């Protein structure tokens, strides 16, 4: 993980949406969906949740997290599917059968249109509605539709007149008007089809109102059985309505949907100034596959249409693809002139319009929602990148410290018994890790496994170096963080005591010092019996946890380095005339030091590159 990774989730909104994890080169390496974006992305950075080897490997490369806000979790699921198919991220599971979501198809290019379920959409003059997440729910929608609007589901090839088929069961139960048996003419049947398309297209208020009136009328007539049927029908209709989605459209027309939000609209101008965020959603082959956002400076509330007009002109100046339709949140200046210019660049007609209702209006609302979320995220990033980091301010107030916490030093010990014992010092400056200030210590004075004494040694050595004017240790901390509990805290305090008379500014004993115990993340403070316990979701706790974990990582890395180096040394290194090459051939021949020790002189002489005088030295030495 990179040093800045823990900050990647902090400014994400806690709304449904899709998150896109990116590598340092900007490529998308993982795409996921979430009911709450911030909570879901945050879970990747918790050690206890990083148990999957694939997740651990993924998080090594993540340097940026982008996101797209949606209205519901189901919309996030559909958008995730579209984006995975479009970008093919390395760490996503990619189905080889390229499974598609089901749609409802109304064959409006026939005299008597039929309705059916399909997974394949084409530009064939028919109407498609969906997508639906599951085939089962799609069948349920189709079943309820034929109750509301009797429309045929068969595949008979019907003509406008003189159809000589026999009516089926659907006619007798009121699910079809039997155009196959000439029971209805084209004009009357088309009225039913129009209602079906209006309902599936989102115009459901009339249908709901009619069912409610019928239910109330039946109840008023004391026909409670009929009223109950209308009640159940109303419930099914409302469920049908909520199942319909707006992120996919089966039109093959390419579209861009543009939304804009200003700092003034969201009372953020005090921090961000007169800035606006423009969000562009790219709809390709009817699917939302990508988005882009840009920030515009000096956008006064009265000049938003002018700013949006300038953006459209600049954005499409060098665009590789100019879509047929561009949806805008409001009318802009010189719209006729811009349409003519874009139509000339594209080679055919381009339309700029402000949607009033329907699918494009819903997408327009989504674009605005994403622009607002990005603007709020930018405001939060301004806060966290400044000297006034809220987590640092809260920590300062919590510990009753007068000066700002510009520099925090964290210390940890790593050892294996009494062998290869080391200590680490990591530094947080203005809320960010400063790796150039990190320091490592090899424990020299402590014999045996004594973590308290080891902590005292590294604290003593650190401030002794500062006392003698060592430039590597001349910066003093505003706060010291110790990994451990009361024992480690007392040891660190004792180590600082001898420096009380030193002419350092400030005197080290005046530097606040705390300890963070791992078991239940208690914060111990000198002079207080009871520890401070913060909520698990507290940003201040997260800050000191990350610093403590960084100190542990830095210490254990040094510890492993020393162990590896020690293990690479063998008794063969002590034998004269046995260099790396001869050591290698001996180990390749015999496999181990014990096998070389048991080898006879003749066996040693049989090794290529080992002359008699060297073989005798090895045999005698071992």
Instruction: State the Cα–Cα distance between residues 338 and 350, nearest whole angstrom.
Output: 9
Window from 18-22, 421-425, 459-463, 569-573 with minimum mean pLDDT = 569-573
State residue 568's pLDDT score.
52
Nearest to 74 by CA among 144, 140, 131, 138: 131
Window from 71-85, 207-221, 395-409, 421-435 with minimum mean pLDDT = 71-85
Burial of 468 (0-12, 13-18, 19+ CB in 10 A): exposed
- Please identify which residue in the block is written with the tokens 């494009």: 360
Instruction: Please state the rounded mean pLDDT for residues 428-444.
Output: 89
Window from 113-117, 365-369, 588-592 with minimum mean pLDDT = 588-592
Q: Is the pLDDT of residue 245 over 60?
A: no
Instruction: Please state the rounded mean pLDDT for residues 515-543.
Output: 85
Window from 95-104, 112-121, 344-353 with minimum mean pLDDT = 95-104
Instruction: Please state the rounded mean pLDDT for residues 527-539.
Output: 83
* Phi, psi (deg, nearest 5) at residue 386: -90, 180
Window from 65-69, 133-137, 383-387, 401-405 with minimum mean pLDDT = 383-387
Nearest to 206 by CA among 246, 237, 177, 175: 237
- With cut-offs at 50, 70 and 90, classify the pLDDT of residue 132: low
- With cut-offs at 50, 70 and 90, classify the pLDDT of residue 198: confident
Instruction: Please state the rounded mean pLDDT for residues 611-618.
Output: 87
Percent of the chain beyond pLDDT 70?
A: 81
Q: Is the pLDDT of residue 567 over 80?
A: no
Instruction: Please state the rounded mean pLDDT for residues 125-139.
Output: 70
State residue 379's pLDDT score.
62
Instruction: State the Cα–Cα distance between residues 425 and 252, nearest whole angstrom.
Output: 59
Instruction: Enumerate residues 6+ apart whose C-beta is below 8 A from 548.
Output: 410, 412, 481, 483, 516
45 or 23: which leads in pLDDT: 23
Task: Read off the pLDDT of residues 536-566 as tens digits, 9 standing for 90 and up.
Answer: 778 888 889 889 989 998 988 888 887 766 6
CB atoms within 10 A of CB 25: 8
* Secondary structure of residue 317 in the 3-state scheme: coil
- With cut-offs at 50, 70 and 90, classify the pLDDT of residue 432: confident
Instruction: State the Cα–Cα distance between residues 377 and 11, nearest whole angstrom.
Output: 5
Instruction: Please state the rounded mean pLDDT for residues 268-278.
Output: 65
Q: Is the pLDDT of residue 95 over 80?
A: no
Instruction: Please state the rounded mean pLDDT for residues 163-183.
Output: 89
Task: Read off the pLDDT of residues 376-418 as tens digits, 9 standing for 90 and up.
Answer: 776 655 444 444 567 787 888 888 887 888 899 999 998 865 5
Window from 136-140, 492-496, 542-546, 556-560 with minimum mean pLDDT = 136-140
Task: Read off the pLDDT of residues 459-476 as tens digits, 9 standing for 90 and up.
Answer: 999 998 888 888 888 889
- Check residue 45 and give left, alpha or beta (phi > 0: left; psi -120 to 50: alpha): alpha
Cα 289 versus chain centre, distance: 17
- With cut-offs at 50, 70 and 90, classify the pLDDT of residue 97: very low
Task: Read off the pLDDT of residues 326-335 as tens digits, 9 standing for 90 and up.
Answer: 999 888 877 8
State residue 42's pLDDT score.
82
State residue 3's pLDDT score.
40
Q: Is the pLDDT of residue 482 over 60?
A: yes
Q: Is the pLDDT of residue 135 over 70?
A: no
State residue 448's pLDDT score.
78
Nearest to 555 by CA among 405, 406, 448, 451: 451
Q: Is the pLDDT of residue 39 over 50?
A: yes
State residue 559's pLDDT score.
84
CB atoms within 10 A of CB 80: 21
Nearest to 476 by CA among 523, 393, 409: 409
Nearest to 240 by CA among 321, 320, 129, 331: 129
Instruction: State the Cα–Cα distance between residues 65 and 381, nearest whole angstrom.
Output: 14
* Phi, psi (deg, nearest 5) at residue 404: -60, 150
State residue 4's pLDDT score.
45
506 or 344: which leads in pLDDT: 344
State residue 252's pLDDT score.
56
Task: Read off the pLDDT of residues 10-27 as tens digits, 9 standing for 90 and up.
Answer: 678 888 889 998 888 778
At CA 396, angle to CA 394 and CA 397, rounded to 5? 65
């Amino acid at each position: 993980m990179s040093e800045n990774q823990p900050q990647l989730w902090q400014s994400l909104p806690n709304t449904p949406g899709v998150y896109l994890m990116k590598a340092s080169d900007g490529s998308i390496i993982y795409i996921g969906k979430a009911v709450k974006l911030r909570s879901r992305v945050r879970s990747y950075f918790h050690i206890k949740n990083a148990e999957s080897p694939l997740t651990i490997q993924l998080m090594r490369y993540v340097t940026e997290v982008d996101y797209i806000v949606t209205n519901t979790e189901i919309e996030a699921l559909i958008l995730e599917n579209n984006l995975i198919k479009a970008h093919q991220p390395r760490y996503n599971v990619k189905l080889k059968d390229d499974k598609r979501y089901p749609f409802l198809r109304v064959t409006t290019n026939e005299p008597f249109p039929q309705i059916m379920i399909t997974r394949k959409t084409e530009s064939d003059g028919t109407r498609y509605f969906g997508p639906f997440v599951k085939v089962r729910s799609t069948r349920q929608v189709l079943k309820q539709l034929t109750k509301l609007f009797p429309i045929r589901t068969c595949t008979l090839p019907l003509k406008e007149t003189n159809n000589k088929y026999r009516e089926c069961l659907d006619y007798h139960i009121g699910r079809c008007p039997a155009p196959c048996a000439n029971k209805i003419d084209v004009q009357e049947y088309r009225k039913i089809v129009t209602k079906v398309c209006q309902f599936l297209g989102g115009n459901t208020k009339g249908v709901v109102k009619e069912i409610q009136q019928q239910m109330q009328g039946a109840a008023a007539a004391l026909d409670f059985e009929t009223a109950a049927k209308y009640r159940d029908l109303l419930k099914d209709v409302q469920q049908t309505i909520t199942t319909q989605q707006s992120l996919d459209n089966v039109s093959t027309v390419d579209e861009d949907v543009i939304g804009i939000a200003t700092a003034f609209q969201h009372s953020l101008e005090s921090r961000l100034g007169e800035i606006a965020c423009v969000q562009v959603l790219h709809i390709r082959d009817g699917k939302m596959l990508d988005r882009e956002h840009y920030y515009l400076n000096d956008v006064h509330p009265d000049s938003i249409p002018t700013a949006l007009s300038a953006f459209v002109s600049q954005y499409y100046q060098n665009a590789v693809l100019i879509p047929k339709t561009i949806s805008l949140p409001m009318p802009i200046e010189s719209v006729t002139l811009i349409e003519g210019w874009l139509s000339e660049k594209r080679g055919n007609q381009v339309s700029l319009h402000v949607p009033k209702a329907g699918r494009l209006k819903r997408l327009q609302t989504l674009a605005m929602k994403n622009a607002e979320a990005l603007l709020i995220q930018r405001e939060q990033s301004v806060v966290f990148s400044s000297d006034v980091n809220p987590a640092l301010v809260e920590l300062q107030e919590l510990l009753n410290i007068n000066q700002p916490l510009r520099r925090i030093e964290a210390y940890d010990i790593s050892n294996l018994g009494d062998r290869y014992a080391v200590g680490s010092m990591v530094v947080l400056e203005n809320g960010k890790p400063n790796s150039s200030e990190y320091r490592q210590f090899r424990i020299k004075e402590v014999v045996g496994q004594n973590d308290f004494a080891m902590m005292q040694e590294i604290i003593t050595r650190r401030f002794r170096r500062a006392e003698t004017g060592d430039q590597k240790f001349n910066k003093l901390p505003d706060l010291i963080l110790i990994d451990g509990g009361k024992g480690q805290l007392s040891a660190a305090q004792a180590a600082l005591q001898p420096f009380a008379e030193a002419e350092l500014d400030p005197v080290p004993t005046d530097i606040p010092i705390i300890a963070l115990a791992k078991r239940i993340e208690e914060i111990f403070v000198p002079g207080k019996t009871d520890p401070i316990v913060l909520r698990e979701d507290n940003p201040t706790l997260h800050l000191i946890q990350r610093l403590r974990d960084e100190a542990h990582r830095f210490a254990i890395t040094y510890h492993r380095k020393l162990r590896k180096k020690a293990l690479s040394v063998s008794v063969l290194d002590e034998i004269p005339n046995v260099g790396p090459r001869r050591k290698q051939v001996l180990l390749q021949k015999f496999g181990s030091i014990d096998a070389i020790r048991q080898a006879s002189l003749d066996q040693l002489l049989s090794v290529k590159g080992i002359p008699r005088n060297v073989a005798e030295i090895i045999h005698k030495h071992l």
